[in-house]
Amino acid sequence: MKGHLLWNAAQVIAIYLEDNVDDLVKSKTVLELGAGAGLPSLVCAVLGASKVVVTDYPDIDLIQNLQYNIDHCDALSSKSSIVAEGFLWGNSIAPLRSHLSSDDGFDLLILADILFNHSEHAKLVRTVKEALKPNSNARALVFFTPYRPWLLQNDLNFFNLAKDAGLAVEKVLERVMDKVMFEKDRGDELLRRTVFGYEVSLKQE
């Protein structure tokens, strides 16, 4: 992995995907938002996802870094199942869906440690709703650590906005890591070591 710290939520989602590979990954279409180093996306590609679109802010260095990690992932038998793209949350996902064989959306969305960006929550919710395939099995994994514990309620407000937009929200995991990610940060140490995991899906009529 080049160029990025491996954030807690990315590590925990990677394990969660391995533990639920048949249900979440195998033969599924996957979209990761704000991917950083792209570990969960690489895990999905290795574990047999049919197509993985891994995205981050459309900065050439960020996307080249993702591409580097794809190109140097020895566990990937085929690089054709995963593609790196720049994407701004809230924009049309039509260019991302163009990588799929059918245009009805993604089976799995991955949002790992991106809820700290509170001003972008409404755009994220819009993207999740537009990107999810309209069936009962499609879901978004939204995992995060409150690195600024005093802003936890702001982080959690993403899920209030999701519910307001007609999405279903279910907490699926809470895991305490062995140590904090950033030693010099302030605030409750236990919270700074905890990864909270949620599944967000389209409400079924």
Residue tagged 């080249």 (tokens): 64
* Inter-CA distances, 180 with 33, 107, 156, 189, Å: 24, 32, 20, 7
What amino acid is encoded at 19 in this protein?
Answer: D
| Residue 102 maps to a domain | yes
Query: What local confidence, expressed as pLDDT, does residue 199 receive?
Result: 97
Alpha-carbon distance of 201 to 136, in angstroms, equals 8
**Local confidence pLDDT in tens for the 205 residues of the chain:** 554 567 899 999 999 999 999 999 999 999 999 999 999 999 999 999 999 999 999 999 999 999 999 999 988 888 889 999 999 999 999 999 999 988 789 999 999 999 999 999 999 999 999 999 998 899 999 999 998 999 999 999 999 999 999 999 999 999 999 887 667 777 788 898 999 999 999 987 6
Residue tagged 């690489």 (tokens): 42
Query: What local confidence, expressed as pLDDT, does residue 5 receive?
Result: 62
| Residue 2 maps to a domain | no
How do beta strands 29-33 and 108-112 pair?
parallel
Helix axes 39-46, 60-71, angle to 10 degrees: 30
| Residue 1 maps to a domain | no
3-57, pLDDT tens digit by residue? Answer: 456 789 999 999 999 999 999 999 999 999 999 999 999 999 999 999 999 999 9
| Residue 145 maps to a domain | yes
| Residue 72 maps to a domain | yes
Question: Structure pTM?
Answer: 0.95
| Residue 3 maps to a domain | no
| Residue 60 maps to a domain | yes
Query: What local confidence, expressed as pLDDT, does residue 186 receive?
Result: 77
Query: What local confidence, expressed as pLDDT, does residue 179 receive?
Result: 80
CATH code of residue 117: 3.40.50.150
**Residue 65 sits in which domain range?**
8-202
| Residue 146 maps to a domain | yes
Query: What local confidence, expressed as pLDDT, does residue 116 receive?
Result: 94
Helix axes 39-46, 8-19, angle to 10 degrees: 20
Cα distance from N-terminal residue to C-terminal residue, the chain: 42
Query: What local confidence, expressed as pLDDT, does residue 119 receive?
Result: 97
In total, how many domains does the chain have? 1
Query: What local confidence, expressed as pLDDT, does residue 4 receive?
Result: 54
The two tokens of residue 35 are 């991917």
If we measure between CA atoms, which residue out of 164, 155, 142, 143 comes closest to residue 187?
Answer: 155
pLDDT-above-70 percentage for the chain? 96
Alpha-carbon distance of 112 to 12, in angstroms, equals 9
The two tokens of residue 40 are 């969960």
CB 96 within 8 A of CB 131: yes
Query: What local confidence, expressed as pLDDT, does residue 205 receive?
Result: 65
